[in-house]
Structure 1
Amino acid sequence: MKHMQHFTRQCLRAVCISAMAWAVSGCSLLPTESFNFQAELPENFTISATTYYDAASGESCPGHKVVKSEQPKGTQLIELKLPLAERVKGCSRVLKSVVLNIEGRWGQRELDMDMDSAGLSIRDELSETTQPFPATGPLVFQGQCQWLFRTMGPHRYIVKILQCRALDANGVVQKRLPGGAIQRDQLAGRTVKLVLTEAKEEKPYFGRSWLETPKGWKPCIETKETFRCQNPPTFTDFKMPDGRDCTVYPNCTE
């Protein structure tokens, strides 16, 4: 009888150990929690996501890991699945932030482009800056990208700078970059969407050096003290990217 009891205890112990081992090993086999990121972009824009992972609470992982996700060229609506955590060489890492690299093209040449960024910050605690998810559907962040023109070089060729900023609920442009903070425990299985639009009109990068006229924007010579147009203004010419000599932007001639 005692022999049978001892045998039974040994069997139960073996079963428990096996179950525990399966549970531990099975952790790496379970699907990792993730969320969907979507981006709606203007024409001639692309985006890529750079995800930053750092050590989970209570663990000491050296440094952080960066993973890049590229968008297929020519698509204006993209979707990426971004893991919230990962385990590498026995070290648990959790998603801390997502940097969204925005690239816009303003011309046909290879260098006729510029970049700006947006971002998502993943927070463990609720704060005044974290954005709550709606009851259904995606959490949407709105942004607008503005092209700013300026002249560059001794021949004063026109180039353009990309500036992307957040929009509030009323569509008013903010000073901060598009995106925001999200609470971690709300993210799994949900969708975060960035909707970017392009401003209809371009603006001068150095607004004090250009004057708007009925024919368009005209560049003027600045004063050395204030870097503003002289009074009365003295205008100068510039070159379009295709080499044309112009006096007014974007129409070139008055």
Structure 2
Amino acid sequence: MSEVVGFCVAKQLLSRLPWAFALAGAVSGCSAIKPADSFTLLTELPPGFKFKGEASYVPRTGESCTVPAREGRNYPGKKFYKQDLSNEAQTANFEVPLTSNEDGCPLVLDNFAYQVDAKYGAARLDLGRAFTGVSFRDGSTEAPSPPPVLVLQKQCEWLFRTEGPDRYIGKILKCKSVAAPDQANDSSVKGPMQRAEFAGKTIKVVFNISSVERPAVGDNWVQFPSGWKRCMGDSLEDAYAFCRGNTTDFKPFKMPDGRDCTVYPNCTE
């Protein structure tokens, strides 16, 4: 066994561990033994993002076997992928098998679910999370073939709000599918994809983050040229504090870093 093949086999063994980083593609030598029955998942993340993916497998149609039960760190029927957080924009690629075999049970890829986390502050819990994924179904190679690289575009934005008695700013991450350049909106592929069509193909998922933020809850903030002001509500202790037409009384809040502010995101007018 050559060093390259031995290294790639070691990576396949690592893929059985939860959230082990699938290194396929990281070493060019592995491309020589790239499985034909797989697709490449290519992810592009903005600064401050990280990614986790989970490929789930089910018995092939017509098989009477079942996926073996989990045993310790071994997760039959699942493969895990990970892209760590970076302060820089980053790209990663993973080889995702379309078929598998566990204890003699032939399996096929049922879905690939993934989550993205994004940081908005220094504290451990200052992050937002969004979920999405791709599902697959049986199909024929005679069906219309997707392009060599299918691009799925995800547009993300921050929704801000105040939390707790001290009214700290917290944020919710929201991502939605948008039309990719030169391609149809990926709403056309929200349904299950024909598995056989993607052997040797690439699914490229591009995440972008908007520079414009907006309130997470309606009628809580009033926008001014200097930024957003938090409505007073009934009192400083009013956690819901709807404006209800009062656009003159506002209350202070705190940024994630602890600064006392009166307008978001500039903090002071």
For normalisation by structure 2, the TM-score amounts to 0.72
Is the alpha carbon distance of 1:180 and 1:103 closer, same or farther for their aligned partners in structure 2, counting shifts above 3 Å? farther
CA RMSD of aligned residues (A): 2.9
Counterpart in 2 of 1:95?
A: 109
Cα deviation, 1:113-172, whole Å, max 9, x if unaligned, reads: 12111211112248xxx99512xx40001111111111101111011111111102579x
Q: Where does structure 1 differ by over 6 angstroms across 4 or more consecutive aligned residues? A: none
Cα deviation, 1:40-84, whole Å, max 9, x if unaligned, reads: 111111112101101111113335722211124436101000000
Is the alpha carbon distance of 1:183 and 1:249 closer, same or farther for their aligned partners in structure 2, counting shifts above 3 Å? same
User: Is contact 1:131-1:182 (8 Å) kept?
Assistant: no
Which residues in structure 2 correspond to 1:173-184 (within 5 Å)? 181-184=192-195
Counterpart in 1 of 2:18?
A: none
The structure having more radius of gyration, on CA atoms, is 1
1:83 lines up with 2:97 in the alignment: yes
Counterpart in 1 of 2:170?
A: 159
Counterpart in 1 of 2:250?
A: 235
Counterpart in 2 of 1:68?
A: 80
1:54 lines up with 2:58 in the alignment: yes
Which amino acid letter does the alignment assign opposite residue 168 of structure 1? A
Q: Distance in 2 between matches of 1:101 and 1:79?
A: 15
1:133 lines up with 2:146 in the alignment: yes
Q: Distance in 1 between matches of 2:256 and 2:230?
A: 16
Q: Distance in 2 between matches of 1:31 and 1:138?
A: 17
1:194 lines up with 2:205 in the alignment: yes
Unaligned runs of 5+ in 1: 1-29
User: Is contact 1:142-1:166 (8 Å) kept?
Assistant: yes
Q: Distance in 1 between matches of 2:91 and 2:265?
A: 30
Cα deviation, 1:218-245, whole Å, max 9, x if unaligned, reads: 1113489x97412233322111122222
Q: Secondary structure at the match of 1:253?
A: coil
User: Is contact 2:51-2:85 (8 Å) kept?
Assistant: no
Counterpart in 2 of 1:37?
A: 41
Aligned positions, number: 215
